[in-house]
A and B are shown apart, each in its own frame.
Chain A
Amino acid sequence: MVSGASTNIFVGKLKDILEYSIEEPLNYLVNWGRLYALWPVHLETACCSVEWGAVSGPRYDIERWGMLAAFGSLRQCDVLVILGTVNRKMAPRVRMIYDQMPEPKYVIAMGACAVSGGLYFDSYSVLQGVDKIIPVDIYLSGCPPRPEQLIEALIMLQNKIRISKIS
């Protein structure tokens, strides 16, 4: 009954069972930890940063949903909110900032300029959408978006994190 082969099968099954049983709660736990402590990078490329200021302030107060106000060091941050127009001179710098951020990292492209170039889509100096240089999680339209839209984008991002797998 207890032979080498059957022991191997038993250990293999046990590993599967343990993985199945622990993956779901571990996923939940890690995602829950990430959900409500999103640290944004303080990178203001254009005028959408005014709306970002409004949303950090007491009237809209995005901290209620778990995104903190803008913070100093980008090496400890999770979310890169592209606040408006990214021009071609800025593009390598944005990419450098994105590369310096630790995993997991999320990007919100805020405003028409960050999504597609917006008003300046045929300009020689403006990037046609920030997704040409970095992967974007949430596209947020508007020129500029209302603070409520930014809150909605945050909730969408949280839903995305909630269903993501950690392994």
Chain B
Amino acid sequence: MVETSNTESTLIEREQKLAADLKSRFGDVLEITIKSKRIKIKVKSERLLDIANYINNELGFDHSTSVSGVDYPNSKEFEVVYHLSTYGREDFRDIVIAFSTRISRDEPKTLSLINIWPSVEYSERETFEMFGIIFEGHPKLEKLLLPEDWNDIPPLRKDFKPPGR
């Protein structure tokens, strides 16, 4: 049992170390929230590629497990969230980074991170069709899951009216 509590405390320590490292490097462009096993990093969209490259190359978070969108109609923004984890670094293996950025709702464009994490290909396509967010630089930004004859606004936006409601 002593060992378990030890690893718990080291988990928090490792997370704080990771967060401190990021803060010292990109302090002005990001917000960091730390929870157990989860670090949320919110960056400004101009520095998205820099910080993503740093997280991939220096911190060793080598793959993305999901890409999702969040709709904030009141502040007219979309948030794109990449969940990142690592195979390469053993000390960060139990940590998931939620790497997010906010973009304008009227012109939903962001840079695709497919050159950094190739596994985002399908997730970015799904986010594209569910929210209408355009990922610039994605090689095949087409419909993935929706019907071929879909003729409506993207269905996970808040102003979409589902049938039967």
- Give the contact stretch, choosing among A12-20, A48-56, A59-67, A117-125: A117-125
| B131 to A: closest C-beta gap in Å | 13
Q: Are B164 and A89 neighbours in the complex by a CB distance under 8 Å?
A: no
- Tally the A-B contacts, defined by beta carbons under 8 Å: 22
Q: Which of B145, B155, B160, B163 contacts A128 (CB 8 A)?
A: B163
| Bound-state Cα–Cα, A124 to B145, Å | 12
A-chain residues with CB within 8 Å of residue B34 when the two chains form the complex: none
Q: For residue B147, which residues in chain A have a CB less than 8 angstroms away from its CB?
A: 88-89, 125
- Does B162 sit within 8 A of A, measured CB to CB? yes
Q: Are B164 and A124 in contact (CB under 8 A)?
A: no
Inside 8 A of A122's CB, which chain B residues have their CB?
162-165
Is A124 within 8 A of B160, CB to CB? yes
Q: Chain B contacts of A124 at CB under 8 A?
A: 152, 155, 160, 162-163
- Binary per-residue interface labels of chain A (127-154) against chain B in the complex, 1 for a CB within 8 Å, 0 otherwise: 0100000000000000000000000000
* Total chain B interface residues with beta-carbon distance under 8 A: 11
- Where chain A touches its partner, the secondary structure class is loop
Return the contact of A125 from the options B148, B155, B164 (Cβ within 8 A): B155
Mask, B151-164, CB within 8 Å of A = 1, is: 01001000010111
Chain B residue with the shortest CB-CB distance to A117 = B164
Q: What are 15 contact pairs spanning A and B, CB under 8 A?
A: A89-B145, A89-B146, A89-B147, A89-B148, A122-B162, A122-B163, A122-B164, A122-B165, A124-B155, A124-B160, A124-B162, A124-B163, A125-B147, A128-B163, A128-B164
Q: Name B's A-contacting residues (CB within 8 A).
A: 145-148, 152, 155, 160, 162-165
User: Top 9 closest A-B pairs, CB basis?
Assistant: A124-B155, A122-B165, A89-B147, A122-B164, A121-B164, A122-B162, A88-B147, A124-B162, A128-B164
